[in-house]
Amino acid sequence: MKKIILDVDTGIDDALGIILAVKSKQLDIQAITTVCGNVSLEQATVNTGKVLDLLGRPDIPVYRGAETPLIRPEFNETRIHGQDGIGGALPYAVPSTAPASGFAADLMIEHALNLKGGQDRLTLVCTGPLTNLAHALLRYPELPKHIEEVIFMGGVIHGCGNVTPVAEYNMYADPEAARIVFHAGFRKLTQVGLDVTRKALLTAEHIAQIADPQIRNYVEQSTSEYTKRYEARNSVRACALHDPLAVGVALWPELLDTKPMYVDIEISSRLCDGQTVGDIQNRLGHPPNMQVSEGVDHEAFLTRFVHVTGQM
């Protein structure tokens, strides 16, 4: 099985991504690392533990990461994800297992170096701001040589942003971290952005098809307010599966159509901080630094998401 570390800022869709990863039984989850983003680092860590309790997998170690972006003030999205980040769906106080000792960036380096290479190389799936991975790269610049692939949810190339007119949230929250990752030289860096995640829309009809009643009830409750806000903004009553789609790419890469492209990120603009700028026509003449998401078989993904998460 593909060995992965999930790097999360556990809000509503990160939690659904964790559920998909664990219930697929197709990924060897080495650890889950947490970062400030949708909610504070502490809340993201608590939420991650609660979701693992829900899944009966408190054995998966959780490591805390960065409490703040590299240089900017923290910017949470509790207005979207609720004060607790998961829509109040798991109201009890604390998870059954405390986080493991150690810092997320060091854990990424340690696991990457300890694996033997070849099929045992580590894959990182990042569904929050890229702060933890940037810290790892600052500590150990040779890290890309030891990583099979980085799949990150973030950015938008052909459309509008979801936190500013041009910026997607994860990129806006820590664009300096994203720029370090973009230019680190990973052998395979796969961007899963709003261009495709806005097509993966979970509706009430999908939720009703989730066979496991405990998971179905959790998904229905956690996405309730998010769905209302999405409808108010986009006139579609659904929950966009941004982060689960990044996990889905790790599971089923054939569902995503990608294009090699040079992409940079704006970090010093009055209006455009966090904008991912794709050199679509190769006007800069730089070699591609990532695979950019261009299309997705969203119907196949939604069918698989419902089936996998609903497994008893």
Mean pLDDT of the chain: 95
Higher-confidence position of 117 and 181: 181
Q: How far apart are CA 157 and CA 145, in angstroms?
A: 27
pLDDT the model gives residue 82:
79
Q: What is the pLDDT of residues 185-225, one digit of tens each?
A: 999 999 999 999 999 999 999 999 999 999 999 999 999 98
Strands 256-261 and 239-240: unpaired
Q: Do 309 and 301 touch, CB atoms closer than 8 A?
A: no
- First vs last C-alpha separation in the chain: 21
DSSP for 156-202? -SSS--SSSSS--HHHHH-HHHHHHHHTS--S-EEEE-HHHHTT-EE
Q: Which residues pair with 295 in a beta bridge?
A: 257
Q: Beta-carbon neighbour count of residue 206 at 10 Å?
A: 18
Taking the mean position of all CA atoms in its chain, how far away is CA 183? 19
- pLDDT band of 120, cuts 50, 70, 90: confident
Stretch 80-103: mean pLDDT, rounded? Answer: 86
**What sign for the dihedral angle of Cα 189, 41, 44, 234?**
negative
Q: Which ranges in the chain belong to alpha helices (H)? A: 12-24, 41-54, 78-81, 104-114, 131-139, 169-173, 175-182, 194-197, 204-208, 213-222, 224-234, 242-251, 298-309
- pLDDT band of 151, cuts 50, 70, 90: very high
Q: Do 153 and 246 touch, CB atoms closer than 8 A?
A: yes
Please identify which of the residues 111, 135, 242, 298 carries the catalytic annotation.
Answer: 242
Q: How far apart are CA 100 and CA 7, in angstroms?
A: 15
Q: What is the pLDDT of residues 41-66, one digit of tens each?
A: 999 999 999 999 999 999 999 999 99
Residue 249's Cβ-count burial label (10 Å; 0-12, 13-18, 19+) is buried
170 — phi, psi (to 5°)?
Answer: -60, -35
Stretch 1-11: mean pLDDT, rounded? Answer: 96
Q: What is the pLDDT of residues 229-286, one digit of tens each?
A: 888 888 999 999 999 999 999 999 999 999 999 999 999 999 999 999 999 999 999 9
pLDDT the model gives residue 272:
98
- pLDDT band of 118, cuts 50, 70, 90: low
Stretch 157-161: mean pLDDT, rounded? Answer: 96
Residues of the chain above pLDDT 70, percent:
98
pLDDT at 105 over 90: yes
Q: Do 170 and 242 touch, CB atoms closer than 8 A?
A: no
Active site includes 242? Answer: yes
Please state at what angle helix 213-222 crosses helix 224-234, rounded to 10 degrees.
Answer: 50
pLDDT the model gives residue 119:
65
pLDDT at 93 over 80: no
